[in-house]
Amino acid sequence: MINKLRLILFPFAVLYGIVVICRNKLYNLGLLKSTRFDLPVICVGNLVVGGSGKSPVTEYLVKLLGGYKIAILSRGYGRKTSGFILADEHATAETIGDEPMQFYRKFPKVTVAVCEDRVKGINLLKDQHDLILLDDAFQHRAVKAGLNVLLFEYEKLLKPQLLLPAGNLREPFSAYKRAQLLLVTKAPVTMDAAERSKCTQKFKEGSSGQLAFSFLSYGKLKPLFSGVEMACAEIPAHASIFLLTGIANPAPLHSHLKKYSAQIRHYDYPDHHQFSRQNIRQLVNAFNDHPEKEKIIVTTEKDAQRLLAISLKELLLNLPVFYLPIKIDLQHEDKATFDQKILNYVSSTTRNR
């Protein structure tokens, strides 16, 4: 059924591709304006709709560049506001979006802002900061970032991909040539030469020395409201896990939790889903009705930001709700080169000489 639908949508994907190629050509020729700034601007992006691990990569860069005054600028996907907003103690996932809210709570020394117009956002931030991290802005060509880090999810990279609406590609795969660094995310922890070669062959030209591989690393389960954090290994083998997700690809998380419990009931929603009271009430009722005494509710760190809304929080407050933080680690053979390219770019850009 899905293949038939893709076949029906394929002519529209061709039209979409023509429009995107023409748009990119206009930017390449300078007929559409692309603004360059005199401070380091690093864009973390991807070519597909949905998650490729941009948030963990942005957090990795924040830690790598901790000696600088950093601002993260995002569009604020899923927020109910518009325009330029600086995150502050009054911010919520509804006002700035779930991912910016996660950055704000995690990095108190980093400025977090949202704005659909990235040029405007950078202009409002540039005088008070050493560098700007653009979250998900590779297609926002009105900004000419000094360094583009383009992400590719390992499993998806090895499969055929089509343009929207027949597939998930926002622009033709060849657009990777605009990026200075290519990062494969969610790769196996250990990779042999053959596995690396399969990915490398996808980039036929322009990727020499640019390609690096990373994998996910899970932290300890952290209580959303009260309680103490615990390692996943501390979950009793017979315990039931009620997993709540609203992310693009929850499969890696599901697989990780399955190592510790076979009893997983997954409440799976689309990426950035605005959980309703009915959604959460359904989860809570199922949790309360389940006969197993050892049971917990687990969600992602991004989803947790939306669960803190007052209308949802009151339904979950007295339950054992945990979120599971993730981070990326780079393959040993790639880490030093990848890090140094980022550091060299920032230190050599005009304002930081």
Domain ranges for the chain, please list them. Answer: 34-217+330-352, 220-324
- Nearest CA among 99, 81, 82, 101 for reference residue 91: 101
Q: What does the alpha-carbon distance between residue 277 and residue 241 come to, in Å, rounded to a whole number?
A: 20
Pick the CATH number of 220-324 from 3.90.460, 3.40.50, 1.10.20, 2.40.30: 3.40.50
- Nearest CA among 51, 117, 83, 139 for reference residue 326: 51
Would strands 240-245 and 263-268 be described as parallel, antiparallel, or unpaired? Answer: parallel
pLDDT at 315: 97
pLDDT at 346: 97
Cα of 288 vs its chain's centroid, Å: 32
Beta carbons within 8 Å of 300's beta carbon, 6+ residues apart:
245, 246, 247, 250, 253, 323, 324, 326
Q: pLDDT tens digits, the chain, 353 residues: what are they? A: 557 888 899 999 999 999 999 999 999 999 999 999 999 999 999 999 877 899 999 999 999 999 999 999 999 998 999 999 999 999 999 999 999 999 999 999 999 999 999 999 999 999 999 999 999 999 999 999 999 999 999 999 999 899 999 999 999 999 999 999 999 999 999 999 999 999 999 997 656 568 999 999 999 999 999 889 999 999 999 999 999 999 999 999 999 999 999 999 999 999 999 999 999 999 999 999 999 999 999 999 999 999 999 999 999 999 999 999 999 999 999 999 999 999 999 999 966 54
pLDDT at 353: 47
pLDDT at 51: 75
Q: Report the SS3 class of residue 143.
A: strand
Q: Report the SS3 class of residue 101.
A: helix
Q: Report the SS3 class of residue 33.
A: coil
List the strands of the sheet with 222-223, edge to edge: 222-223, 321-324, 295-300, 240-245, 263-268
Q: What does the alpha-carbon distance between residue 34 and residue 141 come to, in Å, rounded to a whole number?
A: 6
Please provide the CATH number assigned to the domain covering 34-217+330-352.
3.40.50.300
pLDDT at 1: 57
Structure tokens at 283: 């989860």
Q: Report the SS3 class of residue 350.
A: helix
